[in-house]
Amino acid sequence: MNNCLAEWTGLSPDIMTEIGYSGRLQLVHIDDREKLITFNNDMHHAENNEIRTIEYRLVASTGKIIWIRDRSKVFKRDHHKVPTHILSILQDITHEVELRNQLIERTQYAEAIIDSSVDRIMLYDQQLNIIAWNSRSAELTGVSKKHAIGKNLFELFPKVEKDEQLYKAFNKALLGHYIHLPNTKSTYTDKYYERFFIPLKNEKGETYAVLNLMHDVSDTFLQKEKLSELNMILERKNKELEEKNEEITSFAFIASHDLKEPLRKLYTFSDWLLNRELENLSDTGKSYIKKMANSVRRMDMLIEDILVLTKIDSDKRVLKPIDLNAILDRVTGDMKEYISMHGVEIIADSLPIINGNDNQLFYLFKNLLSNAVKFNKAGRNIIIQIGAKPVEAKMLDHEKKLPGVDYQCIYFKDNGLGFDPKYSKKIFQVFQRLHDPQYYEGTGMGLAICKKIMDNHNGFITADGQPGEGAEFCCYFPSLNKSLLP
């Protein structure tokens, strides 16, 4: 970045560098920020030799408005052909814009009297005499163009002079001020108008006339009032819903705690019987005790999964940048003995940083790894591949994808039992199991929890598999946008 931006804005080059992207964005006129952000984001889709142009305003430290023309092109791409550097040439075009605006102002007189306009258009001079009056004005007021031209505005419409806001606007515009009055009620009807007072100036900068445009916003104004009422109702309903959710969450925690207590006793007694009274039990009794112990263990797992699902559903923390490599390290550390016991080989590539909730991402990775280990094929070494790949918005076809948003796909691929592709959506439903629970422990909630986590991250999860050939689960997270401000 050279010194031009610093010179234009009145800030030192060091400060311009220090305040970074977000600070420099604040120097852009508030009405132009959104389009500049969109422009910078769209640069990621530019062709190699394509030059894109935008004009926007900067606000100097003195308050002066400076018009900038920005011409940008992709300067460097990474090995995925994703732009990493943007080269931008900025030019001060303030004088050019001023000349352009003067030209627009000179042509507004002719444009103002176009009778096809749906708005009321009037032009008045320094003496408040009407010098232009379009057909829409005649239609709505009942005053013909022939009768209006040359008449004094306040004499023709005396109520306007008595309206303090309108009176000030008509006169202030004659002093060269651009005036905008949104949603002002007509002095003669029940309609609402958005009014614009645009001064027309000569070469010396003197205002010789004012263009007055009135746009009927009655329907919009009334709809906004209704929308405001609906928003208040919706806000109240949302508050009630939040209170109900808190009640449900509280109930789930309390109920699960109360359920776990008798389960612990059942597990303790069944364990006691198996350890101390085994010789006194018949083979049938031994079988029943073991089945009871297994049922208790499955019930305990089910309650635990319900608790996890409840926690995830109620966790509304703001998403923040999370290094997925750190999440994977935490999960593999937590599952170290389980992974070692099953002789699992994990092949993991470097993973990206995404916006997320570290606690939920931990559950996501742990459930997907547990599934890959659990549903293995006898006699085959378990191999799990974990990696990431960027996916452009245009390459995705999924009902939950956000329009125009690129994604990071985090995949978990195994060589286990796999499944029939016709169940690729059904497996994410609560309590859905594709394999015999007699041989494979679980509650049927693991993938439902994964789906809920991805919903909370504004993403989605997909599954693909073939019987006996393994499965692949892909988690799609919205990519972090790193817009560049020249």
Report the alpha-carbon distance of residue 476 to residue 68 in Å, rounded. Answer: 38
Report the alpha-carbon distance of residue 230 to residue 234 in Å, rounded. Answer: 6
Range of 374's domain? 317-486
Q: What is the DSSP string of 388-429?
A: EEEE-GGG---TTPPTT--EEEEEEEE-S----GGGTTGGGS
**Does a structural domain hold residue 380?**
yes
Of the candidates 30, 75, 9, 65, the residue with the CA atom closest to the CA atom of residue 484: 75
**Does a structural domain hold residue 421?**
yes
Report the alpha-carbon distance of residue 273 to residue 329 in Å, rounded. Answer: 40
Q: Are 163 and 20 found together in one domain?
A: no
Looking at residue 250, its pLDDT comes to 64
37 token code pair: 């952000």
Is there a contact between 467 and 417 (Cβ–Cβ < 8 Å)? yes
Question: Domain containing 370 — which CATH number?
Answer: 3.30.565.10
Q: Are 77 and 166 found together in one domain?
A: no
Looking at residue 189, its pLDDT comes to 82
Amino acid at residue number 238 = N
Q: Are 351 and 453 found together in one domain?
A: yes
Looking at residue 200, its pLDDT comes to 92
Chosen domain end from 201, 216, 231: 216
Q: Are 46 and 108 found together in one domain?
A: no
Task: Find the helix or strand (DSSP H, E) in which 109 lies.
Answer: helix 94-112
Q: Are 322 and 173 found together in one domain?
A: no
Of the candidates 390, 412, 409, the residue with the CA atom closest to the CA atom of residue 346: 412
Residue for token digits 């303790």?
268
3-class DSSP state for residue 9?
A: helix
Of the candidates 212, 222, 160, the residue with the CA atom closest to the CA atom of residue 191: 222
Task: Give how far Cα 370 sits from Cα of 18, 281, 332, 365, Å.
Answer: 46, 36, 10, 8
Is there a contact between 195 and 221 (Cβ–Cβ < 8 Å)? no
Looking at residue 137, its pLDDT comes to 87
Q: Are 66 and 204 found together in one domain?
A: no
Per-position pLDDT tens, the chain of length 486: 888 888 899 988 888 889 988 999 999 999 999 999 999 999 989 998 899 999 999 999 899 999 999 999 999 999 888 899 999 999 999 999 999 888 788 766 665 556 777 888 888 999 999 988 888 888 888 899 889 999 999 999 999 888 899 999 999 999 999 999 988 888 888 788 899 999 999 989 999 999 999 988 888 777 877 888 888 888 888 887 776 666 666 666 665 666 666 766 776 777 777 777 767 777 787 777 777 776 776 666 666 666 666 667 666 667 889 999 999 999 999 999 988 888 899 999 999 999 998 888 998 999 899 888 887 777 788 899 999 999 998 888 888 888 888 999 999 999 888 888 887 777 877 545 554 454 445 456 778 888 988 988 989 999 998 888 889 999 999 987 643 323
Is there a contact between 181 and 195 (Cβ–Cβ < 8 Å)? yes
**Does a structural domain hold residue 70?**
yes
Task: Find the helix or strand (DSSP H, E) in which 85 lies.
Answer: strand 83-92
pTM: 0.43
Q: What is the DSSP string of 122-163?
A: EEEETT-BEEEE-HHHHHHHS--HHHHTTSBHHHHSHHHHH-
Count up the domains in the chain and report the number: 3
**Does a structural domain hold residue 250?**
no
**Does a structural domain hold residue 277?**
no
Burial class (CB in 10 A: 0-12, 13-18, 19+), 396: middle
Amino acid at residue number 363 = Y
Report the alpha-carbon distance of residue 364 to residue 409 in Å, rounded. Answer: 14
Helices (H) and strands (E) in the chain, counts: 16, 15
3-class DSSP state for residue 181?
A: strand
Question: Domain containing 165 — which CATH number?
Answer: 3.30.450.20
CA 167 and chain centroid, separation: 44
Is there a contact between 57 and 45 (Cβ–Cβ < 8 Å)? no
478 token code pair: 């919205």
Q: Write the CB contacts of 309 (distance below 8 Å, at least 6 apart in sequence).
A: 445, 448, 449, 452
Q: Write the CB contacts of 271 (distance below 8 Å, at least 6 apart in sequence).
A: 293
**Does a structural domain hold residue 252?**
no
Chosen domain end from 26, 58, 92: 92
**Does a structural domain hold residue 82?**
yes
129 token code pair: 């005499």
Q: Are 70 and 26 found together in one domain?
A: yes
Give exposure, 304-314, as e/b (b: 16+ Cβ within 10 Å).
ebbbbbbbbbe
Q: Are 461 and 356 found together in one domain?
A: yes
Q: Are 88 and 177 found together in one domain?
A: no
Looking at residue 430, its pLDDT comes to 53
What is the spatial order of strands in the sheet that 460-466 belongs to? 345-348, 383-391, 407-414, 470-478, 460-466
Q: Are 119 and 21 found together in one domain?
A: no
3-class DSSP state for residue 289?
A: helix
User: How far apart are the two ends of the chain, measured CA to CA in Å?
Assistant: 7
Amino acid at residue number 470 = G
Look at the alpha carbons of 71, 60, 24, 407 in this order and tell me if their dihedral is positive or negative.
negative
**Does a structural domain hold residue 205?**
yes
Q: Write the CB contacts of 43 (distance below 8 Å, at least 6 apart in sequence).
A: 52, 72, 74, 83, 86, 484
Looking at residue 221, its pLDDT comes to 75
Q: Are 454 and 479 found together in one domain?
A: yes
Chosen domain end from 216, 244, 267: 216
Question: How many of the other CB atoms lie within 10 Å of CB of 379?
Answer: 5
Q: Are 483 and 370 found together in one domain?
A: yes
